[in-house]
A and B are shown apart, each in its own frame.
Chain A
């Protein structure tokens, strides 16, 4: 293997990308505006939850409860009647609907334990859970406070002091932006290497390389380092200027260590891109394959929903995906300020996955390129 060949071929790849303005615009877009949109989309889980109140009591207490729901957690409650409630929930206008029965205040004060009905649209899983808990707490607090004015209620003096570490206000955009960068890294690594390989094959340039004193290993390595470098630089710039600068997310930990992790992830994903490029026989096939691969990587890596809640089988399978480990590395370093002593197992995983993918692809490379040329 000649390192010089790898260098020159890689520089050629960089030139190719530079001459493709559409791709450049798209790369810049996904690392700037797309991240920004994502960050500003969902500040918290329970944000502006649509809620409606059917107030059949019309008492100071029922009014007090209604007023207790306000932004940003909830949208200002819509006061509606019983008939509207079902229609609105059916149409998906409200996630929650509270029904306060007639004579509610009187019954509370008389200690008759009246029942408030809380309707939850359980198809909206994310809000349904957290939201109903919040609502119950709010109602209880409001009722207690109201009753306190009339009589004292004995309580146990045990308090629980809940603190969230690493993200004290549980600001969702912190997580969303970093995961956005991660998803982009994966998508770009695969598209830039895989689709570019198919394009080269459709235009006959790979074949041309193969008759020169250049080995498939050199061709692959040149693609891995050049495209890896592009994505690495873009993601680093995005983290510094967009995530930290523009969006003000306080990232912890050693940035250098995270970049090493990113580089390892890129090694694995660029190899995966080339691998897909050798499987697909045309661009339309590659497009479908891309979707087939990207979606599970994105949804099941732990970047969307917590890994531990997934079925065990899925958790095991996803151990073979580089994203799973990269997501863990990002969380550990950028949020929890963890060092190498913590993330080394993930580093080892990435190296292993990358090497296996790379080796397997290398074995296929010459054969598939030649037979489809």
Chain B
């Protein structure tokens, strides 16, 4: 048990007692006991995968406590009601650049969303947003979508969103990972200024940068789910007798891990005068629309050189790398690998290159061994060598004991190693590595660089690598500084460090960036002027008990979902236009009038009377007569081929027998492959046969007797002309208003789960109901618009008479689309992946709505489970309303029992979704 207590006299902001956490079999946190002091800056250090993020998520209330006790701000976090009470005093910024932001929303809209969640009124929101954006230097970009911001700006935006409600506890999970040194500096200056104005605020930060951590008040060093040590940075250095935190951390590690560590020494590259050029880029440019991602980049890299690429996220590094690999064709300029121009079709060059992309892009469904083997095979490693090569490379990257595991079960650092192993399995002559070491612990990073050194110096492999770590950059032969699509400087680390009279490479880099930023006049951390943020109105959001249902929070979600929908015009158009197109297709396409049926006759009588009989049937508008049947074999063949729907055989001597009053029998064969059609044909033939008989009887003189004993007057009600359109169109509207709205809502929740922004729901006081109803509202509105459009089409284009109460139909539609979207939301909360939600929605809407809801056959005629589904499925009831109001001239009083099931369905579906939606990650 690792027990670490700070001075007990200090006030604590969080108290953890024997906390454990497991993900399946993996132990993420073990017996954590920790008192986190209030009012200061506490750093959690250690590589990724050691449990820092899990620990912070537990403290923020984003993750469910499995075992142990956690008190935050004096409240037991396991108690849901208590937790809700203090959530407004906590702010959490999760790991990952802009993870909890909404990429299509503007800077303003993002902050505004959070402000609304905390119930601030319009004036207050405006004031705070102006102050925060001015303080963070985001003010000039207030209308830019968050997805188009650079990494550093995204993190500043995340900070604005976190600070909008004046939290007492600010939790930042690796806020500066993947951010350039200048932005990193500005970020910490910003935090410093905010803390100066709000001294009571506690800040918890996880970081992988030891230089940053050195400036914090206290530190918690973690490894393998345990706390190694806790205390002031100076104490840690003193304890371990080291000079830097990085060294101190290594010293704190258990003995076996430490033993693997060696200091990295990469021998200098021998100067070859005529070294072969491995990579060359000339005026390489990439534009996406009006945005220039890479602007005229030039470089030449010799064989065997380690070339480092530095710059913030979004500066164009990744795009440049993609152009070199042929993934992206450049807008302008050229690039050569080994003297051959980059060509996506050139497979030979690809075999000589290993590429590791920034995000983990291996198959998480395949085990480590399977991944290695698959890539070995794809790179055409000879079959007999595959086994040996796999073992070799696994040993080199320390993967031997995880060969059977799935990548998802491995810590990030191990996965990065796997990615690298995969990139090197075919012994490439060149490696293009996009941030291969982010999230890897210092020891592993050093081991990794040792491998790189060996590859470069011993095997002559050219290495093109991007990184954020300055100590890694210093190990490169040459580095290039990139910013906003342009290369600012190229040279050896020493040359660059000496520029601008800077002390270190980092300072020099910052100087370059500042100069570039000044030139463009962008993104400067402006001074925080007279702070009024926290003095004036602290604050209605904190005081009092939070309400169980706050319409403002719901509206906040509704507004955001609406904005996202508006920013995705393709989806909006698809939803509206899709309904219209489907209506056209289905309205005109589906018809119950069975016509143009093929018929042929085997007339073995060939008399006038047999011709008369044939004409009676084949000449009607329902049939099209084909050439006569020659014999039974012909009949059989043509029926098998589906060329005849009906075959009639008139026996020899038909006319003669008829005249003599002898019984005769006409044969008729119907193609029964499609039973509904066959039944219609049967009815037609019977009718025509009877009609012919009575005509003959009349002609024969005993007309009166046969004319019938009884008249049957058939009245086709509601649709006197028995037109398919009139029957179908009011039935197609309910069908479409189920399929599209359900599909729209089906991805609403699960998408946030998959992409990570669901965390905002976990850590704010939003309730499940507010969240769900807020998300549902815009889709209901969109579906109602679609309803009006479809109804208009029905009346004008299809000329279906509307006879009943429009108010009743509209109210029915409102209830119905609410039920349809609620069904989508239910599936969305239930499913874990978007693809499953999508599939399930298709399965659970298409069949029941089209087949079991009375569109073709009335529900009362169904059997078995289909009948049950039909009885409770919302489409059934809206179909009754739609047909009732369109064709039957009905209104509310006649239809109330169709409204009732819809009125029940909506709260039941929403209620179920709310029950299934977890308020914490588990």
What is the interface of chain A, defined by CB distance below 8 A to chain B?
Answer: 2, 4-5, 8-9, 12, 15-16, 18-20, 22-23, 26, 29-30, 34, 37-38, 40-50, 75, 87, 89-92, 95, 108, 111, 113-130, 132-137, 139-140, 143-144, 147, 153-168, 170-172, 174-175, 183, 187, 191, 195-196, 198-199, 202-205, 207-208, 210-215, 281-292, 294-296, 298-300, 304-306, 308-311, 313-314, 328, 331-332, 335-338, 342, 366, 370-371, 373
Give the distance in Å from the alpha carbon of A291 to the alpha carbon of B571 in the complex. 13
Beyond A48-B860, A140-B710, A166-B673, whether A204 also contacts B840 by CB under 8 A is no
How many residue pairs link A and B with beta carbons under 8 A? The number is: 475
Question: Whole-angstrom distance from the CB of A52 to the nearest CB of chain B?
Answer: 12
Q: Among residues 883 to 908 in chain B, which have CB atoms less than 8 Å away from a CB atom of chain A?
A: 883-884, 887-888, 890, 894-895, 897-898
What A residues does B207 contact at CB under 8 A? none
Contact of B866 among A41, A129, A281 (CB under 8 A): A41
Q: Assess whether B712 is in contact with A136, with CB atoms less than 8 Å apart.
A: yes
Interface string of B649-662 (1 = CB under 8 A from A): 00000000010011
Chain A contact residues, majority secondary structure: helix
Q: Assess whether A122 is in contact with B722, with CB atoms less than 8 Å apart.
A: yes
Stretch of B265-273, B685-693, B760-768 at the chain-chain interface: B685-693
Give the distance in Å from the alpha carbon of A137 to the alpha carbon of B686 in the complex. 9
Contact of B351 among A37, A75, A205, A213 (CB under 8 A): A213
Q: Assess whether A127 is in contact with B857, with CB atoms less than 8 Å apart.
A: yes
Q: Assess whether A92 is in contact with B858, with CB atoms less than 8 Å apart.
A: yes
Residue of A nearest to B326 (CB): A211
Question: Whole-angstrom distance from the CB of A340 to the nearest CB of chain B?
Answer: 12
Q: Assess whether A191 is in contact with B361, with CB atoms less than 8 Å apart.
A: no
Give the distance in Å from the alpha carbon of A87 to the alpha carbon of B893 in the complex. 11
Q: Assess whether A158 is in contact with B327, with CB atoms less than 8 Å apart.
A: no
B460 within 8 A of A: no
B570 within 8 A of A: yes
Q: Assess whether B739 is in contact with A295, with CB atoms less than 8 Å apart.
A: yes
Q: Assess whether A305 is in contact with B716, with CB atoms less than 8 Å apart.
A: no
Q: Assess whether A160 is in contact with B642, with CB atoms less than 8 Å apart.
A: no
What B residues does A203 contact at CB under 8 A? 359, 361, 364
Q: Assess whether B743 is in contact with A113, with CB atoms less than 8 Å apart.
A: no
Q: Assess whether A299 is in contact with B842, with CB atoms less than 8 Å apart.
A: no
B606 within 8 A of A: no
What A residues does B378 contact at CB under 8 A? 5, 8-9, 212-214
What A residues does B713 contact at CB under 8 A? 115-118
What A residues does B628 contact at CB under 8 A? none
Q: Assess whether A113 is in contact with B709, with CB atoms less than 8 Å apart.
A: yes
What B residues does A114 contact at CB under 8 A? 710-711
Give the distance in Å from the alpha carbon of A175 to the alpha carbon of B751 in the complex. 38
Beyond A170-B678, A287-B747, whether A165 also contacts B727 by CB under 8 A is no
Stretch of B47-55, B188-196, B246-254, B844-852 at the chain-chain interface: B844-852
What B residues does A44 contact at CB under 8 A? 675, 679
B9 within 8 A of A: no
Q: Assess whether A156 is in contact with B658, with CB atoms less than 8 Å apart.
A: yes
Give the distance in Å from the alpha carbon of A117 to the alpha carbon of B589 in the complex. 33
Residue of A nearest to B349 (CB): A213
Q: Assess whether B642 is in contact with A129, with CB atoms less than 8 Å apart.
A: no
Q: Assess whether B836 is in contact with A124, with CB atoms less than 8 Å apart.
A: no
B133 within 8 A of A: no
Residue of A nearest to B663 (CB): A157
Question: Whole-angstrom distance from the CB of A215 to the nearest CB of chain B?
Answer: 7
Give the distance in Å from the alpha carbon of A75 to the alpha carbon of B574 in the complex. 43
B347 within 8 A of A: yes
Beyond A40-B866, A108-B709, A161-B667, whether A284 also contacts B747 by CB under 8 A is yes
Give the distance in Å from the alpha carbon of A34 to the alpha carbon of B843 in the complex. 9
Q: Assess whether A40 is in contact with B673, with CB atoms less than 8 Å apart.
A: no
What B residues does A122 contact at CB under 8 A? 716-720, 722, 726-727
Give the distance in Å from the alpha carbon of A305 to the alpha carbon of B676 in the complex. 8
What A residues does B726 contact at CB under 8 A? 122-123
Q: Among residues 584 to 619 in chain B, which have CB atoms less than 8 Å away from a CB atom of chain A?
A: 585-586, 588-598
Give the distance in Å from the alpha carbon of A281 to the alpha carbon of B593 in the complex. 40
**Subset of 18 A-B contacts with CB under 8 Å:** A8-B377, A9-B378, A30-B843, A44-B675, A90-B884, A127-B861, A140-B709, A159-B664, A159-B665, A162-B668, A164-B672, A187-B843, A195-B835, A286-B838, A292-B578, A295-B739, A306-B676, A335-B672
Question: Whole-angstrom distance from the CB of B560 to the nearest CB of chain A?
Answer: 15
Contact of A170 among B598, B661, B675, B857 (CB under 8 A): B675
What B residues does A310 contact at CB under 8 A? 589-591
Q: Assess whether B740 is in contact with A291, with CB atoms less than 8 Å apart.
A: yes
Stretch of B88-96, B213-221, B393-401, B826-834 at the chain-chain interface: B826-834
Q: Assess whether B590 is in contact with A29, with CB atoms less than 8 Å apart.
A: no
Q: Assess whether A133 is in contact with B687, with CB atoms less than 8 Å apart.
A: yes
What A residues does B380 contact at CB under 8 A? 2, 213
Give the distance in Å from the alpha carbon of A211 to the alpha carbon of B327 in the complex. 7
Q: Assess whether B714 is in contact with A162, with CB atoms less than 8 Å apart.
A: no
Residue of B nearest to A152 (CB): B705
B839 within 8 A of A: yes
Give the distance in Å from the alpha carbon of A83 to the alpha carbon of B224 in the complex. 80
Q: Assess whether A23 is in contact with B836, with CB atoms less than 8 Å apart.
A: yes
B365 within 8 A of A: yes
Contact of B640 among A337, A370, A373 (CB under 8 A): A337
Give the distance in Å from the alpha carbon of A165 to the alpha carbon of B380 in the complex. 57
10 more contacts with CB within 8 A, not counting A91-B895, A298-B850, A314-B589, are A29-B843, A41-B851, A90-B884, A117-B715, A122-B717, A123-B731, A159-B664, A191-B839, A208-B357, A295-B735
What B residues does A286 contact at CB under 8 A? 838
What B residues does A166 contact at CB under 8 A? 671-673
Interface string of B749-789 (1 = CB under 8 A from A): 00100100000000000000000000000000000000000
Residue of B nearest to A205 (CB): B361
Give the distance in Å from the alpha carbon of A60 to the alpha carbon of B866 in the complex. 38
Q: Assess whether B860 is in contact with A75, with CB atoms less than 8 Å apart.
A: yes
Contact of A283 among B661, B751, B852, B862 (CB under 8 A): B751
- Nearest 3 interchain pairs by C-beta: A41-B866, A164-B672, A167-B672
Q: Considering residues B326, B709, B716, B726, which has the most beta carbons from chain A within 10 angstroms of its beta carbon?
A: B709
What B residues does A373 contact at CB under 8 A? 322, 327-328
Contact of B842 among A4, A187, A300 (CB under 8 A): A187
Give the distance in Å from the alpha carbon of A37 to the alpha carbon of B598 in the complex. 33
Give the distance in Å from the alpha carbon of A52 to the alpha carbon of B759 in the complex. 58
